[in-house]
């Protein structure tokens, strides 16, 4: 009976321990599962754009410019409203104030003042115009940053796909080298190949394995760079999916230039900065113009002297200030602001020239990379055929092994060159869309197809 009781007690203890282990395991799974679930989820270009526009740190920072513009508008709109001030005071003291020795111990005062600017020399009106211009400038800054950020996203996203394809090319080279080494080993056993040929086959295999290792490292670096750009932490990295395609460039140089002139946010920003600066000159000029203000005050006064009467007081004042001579302070400010306006106008003219150059350069690069892509595609076909003939010739004993190894290396090199050509051609088209200011719209249309 005692042994049975001890066995039951041990069984209960084991069950409790097992339950604790299961509960602990469940907690670990629930904690880790979201990370693994997020990690295992694939990421395409459409979602990458959404995440970047939402989470990219530089975009989040530049969007604060809109709040600054709203704050300036709040200040500018306030120029239409009066300023109101409340005041009050209580004073306790003992002081002989009359010939009969009587004293006054306290004094109380309370009131309010109101001031309304009727005419500020044009300053307030200019500030209100500037508030709208500043809001447009902020919006253009944000749009320009979004345009360039998505262009950079394309480069990082498709670099991941490029490195993934490079791994496949290197894996194919390793597979071919392994097969050749086995064939050479069998031929050595049959006396159809010598030891030197076997060593060469081994050297080729080791070289291809080293290149595959390098390709894997480049792929990891590309993924880390992309995830960081989208503000995704390493433990929640996503599997990038998509195809490394080289789309056809559509449009013409003149059409691209028209799109750029109509859509480029940085061009519109400079135009609005010129308008903003014109109003800034008006603000500087306002300091030498007359100003008209209306003031009202009312309150209660209880004076020290008994002979004084106490009660309500009020006052109304209409003031006009006419500057006569300010030692050239205003003129100096106007000259400085006019110089800034001239600088902005020069920058605007240069930006228009830059856009023309960017459009021309983009189309030239598109044509260049397209020719290179076509040439690399033809070279790849020739390399595949060259390797096939070399393999047949080597098996039949009419092609030297060095020619076969050269054909293998040439095929891998042609594959990598073809992949790089596709990536470069895609990037030139992306650069054109960034130049046009249409990259986000183009990406949406491309992903919807």
Written as tens digits, the pLDDT of the chain (449 aa) is 444 445 445 555 444 544 444 334 433 333 443 443 345 589 999 999 999 999 999 999 999 999 999 999 999 999 899 999 998 888 776 655 555 555 555 677 888 999 999 999 999 999 999 999 999 999 999 999 999 999 999 999 999 999 999 999 999 999 999 998 998 888 888 887 888 988 998 999 999 999 999 999 999 999 999 999 999 998 999 999 999 988 888 889 999 999 999 999 999 999 999 999 999 999 999 999 999 998 888 887 776 554 555 667 788 888 888 888 888 988 999 999 999 999 999 999 999 999 999 999 999 999 999 999 999 999 999 999 999 999 899 888 888 988 889 999 999 999 999 999 999 999 999 999 999 999 999 988 876 66
User: Do 271 and 88 form a contact (C-beta atoms < 8 A)?
Assistant: no
Per-residue confidence (pLDDT) for residue 213, from 0 to 100: 95
User: Do 286 and 122 form a contact (C-beta atoms < 8 A)?
Assistant: yes
On whether residue 409 sits in a domain, the answer given is: yes
Per-residue confidence (pLDDT) for residue 102, from 0 to 100: 56
Cα 170 from Cα 214, distance rounded (Å):
10
On whether residue 3 sits in a domain, the answer given is: no
For residue 230, the tally of other CB atoms under 10 A from its CB is: 21
On whether residue 29 sits in a domain, the answer given is: no
Cα 245 from Cα 387, distance rounded (Å):
26
Cα 367 from Cα 374, distance rounded (Å):
11
Please state the pTM of the whole predicted model. 0.82
What is the DSSP annotation of 294-359? EEEEEEEEE-SSTTS--EEEEEEEEEEE-----TTHHHHHHHHHHHHHHHHHHHHHHHHHHHHHHH
CATH number assigned to the domain comprising residue 243:
1.20.1600.10
On whether residue 116 sits in a domain, the answer given is: yes
On whether residue 16 sits in a domain, the answer given is: no
What are the CA-CA distances from residue 371 to residues 105, 166, 173, 260 (Å)? 100, 21, 26, 25
User: Do 304 and 104 form a contact (C-beta atoms < 8 A)?
Assistant: yes
List, as own/partner pairs, every contact residues 47-50 make where C-beta atoms lie below 8 angstroms and the sequence separation is at least 24, other chains included.
48/153, 48/157, 48/226, 48/230, 48/240, 49/150, 49/153, 49/440, 49/443, 49/444, 49/447
H/E stretch holding 46: helix 45-55
Q: How many domains does one find in the chain?
A: 1
> Domain range spanning residue 312?
42-91+108-448
On whether residue 6 sits in a domain, the answer given is: no
* Coil, helix or strand at residue 97: coil
On whether residue 5 sits in a domain, the answer given is: no
Buried b (16+ CB within 10 A) or exposed e, 318-341: eeeeeeeeeeeebeebbeebeeeb
């Amino acid at each position: 009976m005692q042994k049975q009781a001890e066995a039951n007690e041990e069984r209960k203890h084991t069950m409790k321990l097992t339950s604790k282990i299961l509960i602990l395991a469940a907690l670990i799974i629930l904690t880790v599962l979201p990370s693994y679930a997020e990690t295992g989820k694939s990421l395409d270009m459409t979602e990458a754009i959404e995440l970047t526009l939402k989470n990219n740190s530089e975009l989040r920072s530049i969007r604060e410019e809109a709040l600054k513009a709203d704050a300036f508008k709040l200040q500018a709109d306030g120029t239409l409203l009066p300023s109101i001030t409340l005041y009050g005071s209580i004073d306790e003291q003992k002081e002989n104030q009359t010939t009969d020795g009587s004293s006054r111990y306290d004094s109380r005062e309370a009131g309010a003042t109101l001031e309304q600017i009727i005419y500020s020399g044009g300053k307030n009106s200019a500030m209100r115009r500037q508030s709208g211009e500043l809001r447009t400038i902020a919006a253009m800054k944000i749009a320009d940053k979004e345009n360039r950020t998505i262009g950079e996203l394309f480069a990082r996203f498709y670099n991941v796909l490029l490195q993934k394809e490079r791994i496949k090319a290197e894996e194919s080279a390793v597979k071919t080298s392994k097969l050749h080494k086995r064939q050479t080993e069998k031929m050595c056993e049959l006396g159809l190949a010598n030891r030197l040929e076997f060593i060469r086959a081994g050297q080729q295999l080791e070289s291809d394995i080293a290149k595959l290792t390098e390709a894997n490292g480049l792929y990891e670096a590309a993924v880390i760079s992309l995830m960081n750009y989208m503000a995704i932490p390493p433990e929640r990295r996503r599997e990038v999916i998509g195809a490394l395609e080289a789309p056809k460039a559509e449009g013409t140089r003149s059409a691209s230039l028209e799109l750029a002139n109509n859509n480029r946010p940085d061009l519109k920003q400079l135009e609005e900065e010129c308008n903003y600066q014109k109003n800034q000159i008006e603000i500087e000029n306002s300091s030498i113009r007359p100003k008209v203000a209306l003031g009202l005050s009312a309150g209660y006064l209880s004076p020290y002297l008994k002979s004084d009467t106490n009660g309500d007081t009020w006052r109304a004042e209409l003031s006009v200030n006419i500057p006569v001579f300010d030692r050239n302070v205003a003129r100096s400010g106007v000259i400085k602001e006019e110089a800034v306006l001239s600088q902005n106008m020069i920058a605007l003219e240069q930006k228009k020239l830059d856009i023309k150059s960017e459009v021309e350069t983009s189309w030239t690069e598109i044509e260049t990379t397209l020719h290179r892509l076509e040439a690399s595609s033809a070279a790849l076909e020739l390399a595949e055929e060259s390797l096939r003939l070399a393999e047949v010739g080597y098996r039949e004993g009419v092609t030297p092994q060095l020619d076969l190894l050269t054909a293998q290396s040439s095929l891998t090199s042609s594959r990598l060159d073809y992949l790089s050509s596709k990536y470069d051609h895609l990037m030139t088209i992306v650069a054109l869309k960034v130049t046009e200011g249409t990259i986000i719209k183009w990406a949406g249309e491309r992903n919807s197809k």
